[in-house]
Structure formats: structure tokens, C-alpha cells
Structure 1
């Protein structure tokens, strides 16, 4: 059934009216029917379309489904909720009340098997990408459409944009990938070859709860009174039969290969104009994909923006909405709005007081980068600017606190903006070792400084991970600042025999004042700060510095292998070192 609501007043300040069509059917090529909600200006059009496709339930209000995130949005980002009644706010997709007055229509599609769409839930699968392709073409052919469809949304609603863009649907005119990872293996499932348990908990907390078939066992939509999870009420066993257990597949597929490749984009085929928006605090899920996608996409019209703050928030702020509307105005409406004069790369550089400065550039890494090496002095536990030129080794219990290396107090401020990498020579008392590398900052009193992450309010500056048996490098894709591991083979260690490893550290940005110290920790388990854990209503595990992106699956990390002793080595043929992206011209204006 399709319910139509006409002439909805958007707000006191908005003169335009909105037409809403609830639960519009979209039949896929295999006969499965998906359901969409359409918000559009009253009138005949033509209107460009902002479309999203995902599994979180199009009828679930942001305020009801994600109350702690909504509270943060209200309290910390008042502009995000101003100028709208917030009556149609939904998690991680655009608020139609801020787009309809600008002449856009907005379409939200429940993905296959989610919300009110029938079918089998198989998250990130090729079938989903095909569905999204067909939804784009269906939307582009609507009578009131101008034939141009843009994709927008955060996280899941961003990740699938990379994949469908590679399929080149004719009606797709632009994509705005807001904090959305690209590589299903490296960005999400396995960090450096180490299994991340986020997917398991995420599926339980955010997907199963709004699966189609929950019917009366699920909530009703405050938007229209419809059952959010469809009209049929199924048993738990019946629901399980309609859902692919992606966690069991990930757990049984520890190496990269066809399963992950068909759930990752073909960058060479992405030619549509794109805006990739990342978050410096997005370590563990999205940041790497936003940057890799920008770098590797074949589009001749592409832009990278990186901000800070909470994962979901900036998308809704005045800054975020204006950025999106300027981009889509150019490519969906043909506006001559100055977008083409925008620098291809624009990043917000963080300062310790919570403010930011803007760097604009035509390159990533930034053209102002001065690549700088610091060396690990294994005897003294320090980071130094010269090769210690001595043979040394130091060991740590793999499940302990690891080893810390600190710089001297900085004599002047420095700015780190860009990717980092570390080279080590390591051995283990067992046949393998997991390496967790943490970039940290300490104040003049020796206290660690932590930073707002995308989800966790207290994170260190940057993370890198590598399972030693996954050390093989893909030379065609690697650079000195971003080692690229093939993850297609295991090269087990001989206990006590050192091997050389290169570890990718995800990009970061921060101005570190004089008197502070830079730190590097090498350990064999996830970082945890010493303070109180944080929580969000949609996250299962308490957050202690890594957000929900932890590596605590004992089947992947048996103590007999990953609970041994790990040793770092230095000699004339192997000097442990850290590569830093120092920036010329310290920013002063904020």
C-alpha cells in the first residue's frame, strides 16, 4: 500500500510545500519488491533526486532509534537541528526539510530484507549493489525527475556508493561519500590481517532490530504509523532463514579474495563526479576508505574533504549541508556556483583546544608535506631524529602494555597532517605476532592527551595494525607512506628469527604545541586509555579508546599464538623508524 500526504508545511521560514509518498514499491529484476519513501516539492518538476539505500529502517526516527547520538547532536550542534521541525529525521540520511526548499527531492529506500522491503538480508553483497543500480535508474525515470540522481548519506549509505558508481548507472550524476569505507577487507573486516569484531556487534545492534518480518514485534513509525519492519510477524528461526550470517563468513575467510573483492569497488570504473568526506577520528572503519577512494577513483571531477568531530554530526550541520548542496548544485542542477574553483583537497587541521584551521591543496598527500623520519632508540625507549647506529633489542609480553617510545619535548610547534608508516624488525616466541601501533601525544606534565574520535570521545592520534604473517607487500600499490599488504597469504614466523615488517598507519592531523611530546607505542593488543569507558545506545561494547573497533575474537587470536613474547630488533641492516608527514608553514589563522 502506498500512502500519500500532500502539502506538508516544512517550517515557519520555508514558504515551499512538500509532497510525501510513503512505501512506494520498486520491483527488482528478480521480482523482489523494495519499498521507498519519497519527499519532493509540490509541483510538476523536474527535480533532481537525492537517494539513499540501506538497512536501518526508513520509518525509524533518528530520535527513537539512536537517542544518545541525537542528544549529542542537539546539545553540541544546535545548527544541525535548527531550521527544521525534525519530524522526518532518519539516521545518517538527509533531512528532507532542508532540501525540499532548495528544489531537491529525497528518496529513502529500505535495502533488501530490511525495514519494509522484502527479501534476503545479505549485507554489502553484489545483489545489494545491483538493487541500488536499479533504484537509481527507477528514480531517474520518474515523471517529475530531471533525470539526475545523486547519492548521499553517511556510513552504510556512503559505502555502497563506491560500488554502484563502478557499475556506472546512466542516471547517476554525482556521489557524496560521507564517512564511508571502500575496501571490505582492509577498512572493515580485518585491520592489517587482524579480525575486527565490529561487524558482529553492529549486525546484532542495528540490522537485526529492523529486519523485515519483525512486524508487530518491531516498532511503528512515528512518520506514518506503519510497522517499520513490515506487516508480517515471523519467528526468530524464520528471520534467521532470511538473513545471511556475514560474521560467520568473515570469520571463516581470513585472507583477502573473491568474497571481499566483490564487496569492494572497482576504482578504475568510478567516473562520476564525487565528493569524499572523511573524519580524522574515523580510525577503524571509514577514514582509510574515504582517502583511498578519492585517490584511486578514475573520475576527473573529484574532491576530498576531511573534518573532525562525531561520526554522524557534521553531515547535518550548516557546514555539512551547505557543502553537500554546493556540490550537488553543480552536478545535479548545473549551477555555476563556484564549485569548480574549489581546491580538490580541503582538510580541517585540528588543534589541541578543539579549534581547526583549513588547508587547501591540489594533492594528497599535501604538497606541503616534508616527510620526516624518527628512529626508535630501543635501548632508551625514545624517538630520535638520528639513527642510533647500535645493535639492540627489546621485548614485551604480547598481551601486556607493550613498549613506549617518546620524543624529547618539542622545541617548537609541529603540524602532522597525512598518512604515517612504521618499519620494524620483529621476532616472536611463537609462529606469529599481532602488532598494534599507536601514535600518542603527551603534555608537558607527561599526561597523555586524547582526542574526540568519530564515535569514541577519547582516542589517541592514530592507529596502525599488522599481523606479522601478513607482512607480504603488494609492490604495485605500495608507497613509502602507505604500505599496501596483499593479505592473500600467510608467512608464519620461525620463533626467535626476526623479520622486517612495514605497517600502514591511518592518516591523521594535529598541531602539537611546543613542550609536548610525540609518542609511539608498539603492543600486541588493542589500546585502552586509563579513564572511564564511554558508550552509545547503538553500540554493544564499552569504548575505551578504540571505539567499537576492537580485535577481541579469541578464535582469531588464540593465546597459544598471540599471547607470547614479541621482540623488536635494531642493527645495521634494520633500523626501526617512523615516517611522519610534517607540514611546512605552520597554520596560525583559525
Structure 2
């Protein structure tokens, strides 16, 4: 900050104009984080947007769309009230940028649905990995962040969407980041299947061989509130949420993969 002010306010030629425009971090959630990585832009220019297709039969993610249609889902308020899909990486894989979910969905017994999306890292044994963002890791901070205060404990990249507000703003949306217009309400008809794009928070994660990525879809918030003490959103969901996969309704998770 001192160099910034010296350069722009005092006119000092201290090399600030050569400072990279971006510095980002790569977390592995296992003690091997890399921070302050310089780049000219975010995401870095060499990031490749890669689609991982959902398979409703095997509950897996794969880079090839299943040829046959299938469904997976849950009943609102039941246990479990989530559906998830997993892929295992056979080589070191780095994600830097903005994930998004493109889902074909249906609400049975209702004309709308709130969807909450979570992308998390699992170790080779399937254990979800997370990491505190504050130095205090005592009992109280454990309690506060168990379900909520996600700003204090990193668990994922997440996103959410009220499906009746799924209309995209064509001018603002890009292939990487969908932008919703929020200027109309499009309720669902009985039996109607619609596609929706859901943007997720940016990510910087490293996966080692054998580790896994899990995509979770639910009708409730999976993390609680961002800040401590905030009230949780109560979604107006009921009935069943169905995710369609494969064939003409090939739902996918798009992730930003940085080549090794």
C-alpha cells in the first residue's frame, strides 16, 4: 500500500506499474496452500472450462455425457434431502476461476424451487476437507462455524437460485459466468422440465491424485449463513426435486481447470 501511494501521490518511480494486476491463492486444504500467485487477469488466461456431466444412475461426474436419460432427486424435508455426484481425479488437477452448474430440473408437487449448489473437495477416502480462515480454532469458533459463519471456515464453492428467476441477461452473461436478469417470474407447470444456469463463488483448489470433487444439490442452505448471527433463509420448497441427466437433458458442472 505504501508503494502504491508513493507511486501515484508522490510520483516515485518505484516499479509499482510493473506489479501484476492479480494475485490469487490455491488451497489444498491439507497444509500445502500456495498464496499470492501473480497473474495478469482472473481467471488466468490459460484456464480451460471443462464440463463434468451428471449421471443420475451412478451418481458420478464424467467428461462424457451419458447417452441415456436418467433422473436423481430427493423429497423436500426428508432425510436425505440432498443428491450428490462425485468424480475422482487420477492426476493433479488445479481449479482457478468460476464454476457453474447447468441443470435440467423438475419440481413435483410445486410450481417453483429454491436450489442450493455446493462443490467441495474430498480426500481419497471420501472425507470432506475444510479450513479455518481465522487463527482462532477453539471450541467456540468450532461451534459458531459448524452450520453458519462460513466466512470464518472455508468448506466449498457454492451458489443458489430461485428457479422461477432463471432467465438470463444475454448482454451480461458469459460462458463462464451466467448473469440473471431478475426482471420476470417464470413459474413451473406440472411435469415441466427446465434448464437453469447457476453461478458459483470463485474457487482456487488443488486436487492430488486419488482425491475427489463432490457436487451437492439441495433445496436448503448447506452451509448456513455467511456471517455469525445472521438469520438463515427459509426456502418455500415442497414436494420433490428431480434432476434430469444424460441424453437430451445432459446436466453438467463446468469447472475452470488450469493446465499443469
| TM-score bucket (shorter structure) | 0.7 to 0.9
Query: Which residue number corresponds to residue 573 of structure 1?
Result: 248
Deviations 1:309-353 (A, max 9, x none): xxxxxxxxxxxxxxx222222222222221100111221222323
The equivalent position to 1:521 in structure 2, one of 216, 233, 243, is 216
Q: Which runs of 4+ in 1 moved over 4 A?
A: 544-551
Matches within 5 A, 1:21-32: none
Alpha-carbon shift at residue 394 of structure 1 (Å) = 1.6
The equivalent position to 1:382 in structure 2, one of 20, 37, 60, is 60
Q: Output the CA distance in 2 between the equivalents of 1:523 and 1:389.
A: 25
Query: Which residue number corresponds to residue 419 of structure 1?
Result: 98
Query: Which residue number corresponds to residue 393 of structure 1?
Result: 71
- The structure with the larger Rg is 1
The equivalent position to 1:332 in structure 2, one of 2, 5, 9, is 9
For residue 405 of structure 1, give the secondary structure of its aligned residue in structure 2. strand
Deviations 1:349-375 (A, max 9, x none): 223234324432222221120211111
The structure richer in strand per residue is: 2
Q: Structure 1 residues 357, 584: CA separation in 2 closer, same or farther (over 3 Å shift)?
A: farther
Q: Output the CA distance in 2 between the equivalents of 1:517 and 1:508.
A: 15
Query: Which residue number corresponds to residue 22 of structure 2?
Result: 345
Q: Output the CA distance in 2 between the equivalents of 1:578 and 1:550.
A: 30
Structure 1: runs of 5+ lacking an equivalent: 1-323, 529-543, 586-590
Q: Which has the higher contact order (CA 8 A, sep 6+)?
A: 2
For residue 153 of structure 2, give the secondary structure of its aligned residue in structure 1. coil
Q: Structure 1 residues 574, 550: CA separation in 2 closer, same or farther (over 3 Å shift)?
A: farther
The structure richer in helix per residue is: 1
Q: Structure 1 residues 385, 474: CA separation in 2 closer, same or farther (over 3 Å shift)?
A: same
Asked whether 1:469 is paired with 2:164, we answer yes
Alpha-carbon shift at residue 432 of structure 1 (Å) = 0.5
Asked whether 1:406 is paired with 2:83, we answer no
Alpha-carbon shift at residue 545 of structure 1 (Å) = 7.7
Further displaced range: 565-574 or 509-518: 565-574
Query: Which residue number corresponds to residue 139 of structure 2?
Result: none
Structure 2: runs of 5+ lacking an equivalent: 135-148
Matches within 5 A, 1:273-312: none
Q: Output the CA distance in 1 between the equivalents of 2:82 and 2:231.
A: 16
The answer (yes or no) to whether the contact 1:377–1:383 under 8 Å persists in 2 is: yes
Query: Which residue number corresponds to residue 197 of structure 2?
Result: 502
Asked whether 1:448 is paired with 2:125, we answer no
Query: Which residue number corresponds to residue 458 of structure 1?
Result: 153
* TM-score scaled by length of structure 2: 0.85
* TM-score scaled by length of structure 1: 0.39
The answer (yes or no) to whether the contact 1:352–1:512 under 8 Å persists in 2 is: no
For residue 497 of structure 1, give the secondary structure of its aligned residue in structure 2. coil
What RMSD over aligned residues (CA atoms) do the two structures have, in Å? 2.1
